[in-house]
């Protein structure tokens, strides 16, 4: 284990608020609706010079027949097994509930790991009734207010006492690979297939994944940070609340990614929302792999799906396409293979002398004019990577129209050997 601290409890006792208080930033979605956090969300935390991995789980409802809550229950059972410390959170406002008692019974075999956290103790009067929670049978009981920070320091003192020395081994470095797409196109199923574990709850209910889940892993010697986002819908179709925050976070995840896997439902073809999301990926200059998932439900062959994707998402002509059936694992490793290929191009750097020659050759091949005068290129260079960014210094920047820029970037991609990545082109005057 890696100094793993897991937060569990029934819905709406303040687990995510406690997580955010300890981590120090708004990572999990917090709202006064039971069951808001569905997936396990994890982040590094530090207290008293000790690092540990903090895991926020979904609300636990034992013996629930609801599909999502059953998935959360299984997630928690797995997390408890591999944790070093269990923070069992209850709410002083509700007293000891039957659900608290059922969860306590599930945790008795792990008694030495368990710290009972009585949350929402915002006043001295609240603290007076904390003693009733000792009936749950746990020796270590800590009253806290996650919203105000009351008692959290004392709780963390106890947590780090139980942890081994040394920093957390889990690394968040690597290719940031984001799974993005409309709700219910199979992103979570793909993530589970990639990791070969039920890391994210999978349900046919659209919108099951609410939190953005980050999972570091290695494949064929390459490090990745895999991100499963909430399904991205148009803002007008999203009610204010949990889903509003999830969509906002998903868009931020796309912006912070290296490679975005645009997941499509091959059975439904390419929708208007797929096009909008693809357009966002293009405008943000992100590396991209188009994933045609649910190929078993498509009436079209792979060749026909590829033709459809190339026609409808023509602006992502640099993005490779893979075909998958996530529950069977079919084509899943092709995603990683293509992501590595895209990332290599996304981070490719060339010497100024080479870029300068390539740019002059392209302009010589197809000259442009401005008010009867030929446009000159003084010099050009590559400014950076992620994406590869080429700066051209010219006498008439306004003469470079969109159609010419498209031609120019296409030729740049060929000449620079950047087949699978967008290229950002900046046209500037000498001054």
Q: How far is CA 49 from the centre of its chain?
A: 28
Residue 340: what pLDDT?
A: 97
Lowest mean pLDDT among 46-60, 131-145, 380-394, 413-427: 46-60
Closest CA to 51 of 42, 41, 61, 38: 42
pLDDT tens figures, 407-416: 999 999 999 9
Sheet with 259-265: list strands edge to edge.
Answer: 213-219, 222-228, 175-180, 259-265, 287-293, 321-323
Highest mean pLDDT among 77-91, 166-180, 242-256: 77-91
Q: Specify the higher pLDDT residue, 30 or 125.
A: 125
**Chain segment 365-403, per-residue pLDDT in tens:** 999 998 888 899 999 999 999 999 999 999 999 999 999
Q: How do the residues of the chain divide into helix, strand and coil, expressed in percent and rounded to 5?
A: 40, 25, 40
Higher pLDDT, 68 or 6: 6
Per-residue pLDDT band for 131 (boundaries 50, 70, 90) equals: confident
Give the burial string for 358-369 (b: 16+ CB within 10 Å, else e).
bbeebbeeeebe
Please give the Cα distance from 169 to 250 (Å, whole number): 26
Q: Which residue has the tokens 């608020």?
A: 17
Q: Which of 32-41, 119-128, 267-276, 344-353 is the least confident region?
A: 32-41
Domains of the chain and CATH, by start: 4-161 (3.40.50.300), 175-344 (3.40.50.300), 352-429 (3.30.300.20)
pLDDT surpassing 50 at residue 234? no
77 or 21, which is more confident: 21
Average pLDDT (86-106) is: 88
User: What's the mean pLDDT in 292-310?
Assistant: 97
Instruction: Indicate whether 85 pLDDT > 90.
Output: yes
SS3 for 366? Answer: coil
Does the pLDDT value for residue 73 go beyond 80? no
Query: Tokens 């410390």, residue?
Result: 85
As a dihedral over the C-alpha atoms of residue 124, residue 102, residue 114, residue 145, rounded to 10 degrees, the angle is -30
Q: What is the pLDDT of residue 112?
A: 81
Q: What are phi and psi of 315, to 5 degrees?
A: -75, -10
User: Would the pLDDT of 266 be above 70?
Assistant: yes
Q: What is the sign, positive or negative, of the torsion defined by CA atoms of 158, 163, 168, 170? A: negative
CA distance linking residue 301 with residue 299, whole number of Å: 7
Tokens found for residue 387: 């994406």
Which phi and psi angles does 46 have, rounded to 5°?
-145, 140
Is residue 324's pLDDT more than 60?
A: yes
Higher pLDDT, 124 or 315: 315
pLDDT of residue 71: 54
Q: Is the peptide bond before 387 cis (omega within 30 degrees of 0)?
A: yes
Tell me how far CA of residue 78 lies from CA of 75, 197, 270, in angstroms: 5, 10, 37
pLDDT of residue 127: 85
Lowest mean pLDDT among 113-127, 229-243, 321-335: 229-243
Q: List pLDDT tens digits, range 155-177.
A: 998 998 888 755 444 445 789 99
Q: What is the pLDDT of residues 182-215, one digit of tens each?
A: 888 888 788 878 877 544 434 444 444 444 556 7
Q: Average the pLDDT over 273-296 and give the result.
A: 94
Q: Residue 142: phi, psi to the nearest 5?
A: -125, 120
162 CB contacts (<8 Å, ≥6 apart)?
84, 85, 113
Model pLDDT, residue 237 = 44
The pLDDT of residue 66 is above 90: no
Facing residues of 190 across strands?
A: none
pLDDT at 149 over 90: no
Residue 166 φ/ψ region, left for φ over 0, alpha for ψ in the -120 to 50 degree band, beta for the rest: left
Q: Is 272 helix (H, G, I), strand (E, B) or coil?
A: helix
State the sign of the Cα–Cα–Cα–Cα dihedral 68, 70, 76, 79: negative
> By mean pLDDT, which of 68-77, 98-107, 288-297 is the weakest?
68-77
Name which residue leads in pLDDT, 34 or 72: 72
Q: What is the pLDDT of residue 32?
A: 40
Of 257 and 49, the one with more pLDDT: 257
For 280, the token pair is: 């966002």
348 band by pLDDT with thresholds 50, 70 and 90 = very high
CB 305 within 8 A of CB 295: yes
Q: How far apart are CA 120 and CA 138, in angstroms?
A: 19
176, 177, 183, 187 alpha-carbon torsion, rounded to 10°:
-130
Spatial separation of the C-alpha atoms in residues 294 and 296, rounded to whole Å: 5
Token pair recorded at residue 184: 């219910």
Averaged pLDDT of the chain: 81
């Amino acid at each position: 284990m890696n100094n793993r601290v897991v937060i569990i409890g029934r819905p709406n006792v303040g687990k995510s608020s406690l997580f955010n208080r300890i981590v120090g930033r708004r990572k999990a979605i917090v709202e006064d609706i039971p069951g808001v956090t569905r997936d396990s969300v994890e982040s590094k935390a530090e207290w008293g010079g000790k690092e540990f991995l903090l895991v926020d789980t979904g609300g636990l409802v034992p013996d629930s027949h609801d599909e999502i809550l059953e998935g959360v229950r299984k997630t928690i059972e797995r997390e408890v097994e591999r944790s070093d410390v269990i923070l069992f959170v209850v709410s002083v406002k509700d007293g000891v509930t039957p659900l608290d008692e059922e969860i306590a019974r599930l945790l008795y075999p792990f008694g030495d790991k368990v710290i009972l956290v009585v949350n929402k103790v915002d006043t001295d009067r609240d603290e007076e009734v904390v003693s009733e929670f000792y009936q749950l049978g746990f020796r270590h009981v800590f009253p806290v207010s996650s919203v105000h920070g009351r008692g959290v320091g004392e709780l963390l003192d106890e947590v780090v006492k139980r942890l081994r020395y040394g920093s957390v081994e889990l690394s968040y470095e690597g290719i940031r690979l984001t799974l993005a797409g409309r709700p219910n196109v199979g992103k979570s199923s793909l993530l589970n297939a990639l990791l070969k574990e039920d890391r994210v709850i999978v349900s046919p209910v659209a919108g099951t994944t609410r939190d953005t889940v980050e999972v570091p892993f290695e494949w064929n010697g390459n490090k990745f940070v895999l991100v499963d986002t909430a399904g991205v819908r148009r803002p007008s179709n999203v009610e204010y609340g949990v889903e509003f925050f999830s969509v906002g976070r998903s868009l931020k995840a796309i912006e912070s990614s290296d490679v975005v896997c645009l997941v499509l439902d091959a059975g439904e073809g390419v929708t208007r929302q797929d096009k909008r999301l693809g357009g966002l990926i293009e405008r943000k200059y992100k590396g991209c792999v188009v994933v045609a998932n649910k190929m078993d439900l498509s009436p079209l062959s792979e060749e026909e799906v590829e033709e459809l994707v190339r026609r409808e998402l023509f602006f992502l002509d640099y993005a490779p396409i893979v075909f998958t059936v996530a529950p069977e694992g079919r084509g899943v490793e092709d995603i990683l293979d293509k992501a590595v290929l895209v990332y290599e191009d996304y981070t490719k750097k060339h010497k100024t002398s080479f870029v300068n020659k390539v740019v002059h050759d392209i302009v010589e091949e197809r000259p442009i004019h401005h008010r009867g005068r030929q446009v000159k290129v003084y010099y050009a260079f590559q400014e950076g990577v992620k994406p590869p960014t080429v700066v051209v210094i010219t006498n008439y920047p306004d003469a470079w129209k969109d159609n010419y820029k498209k031609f120019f970037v296409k030729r740049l991609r060929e000449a620079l050997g950047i087949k699978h990545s967008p290229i950002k082109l900046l046209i500037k005057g000498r001054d």
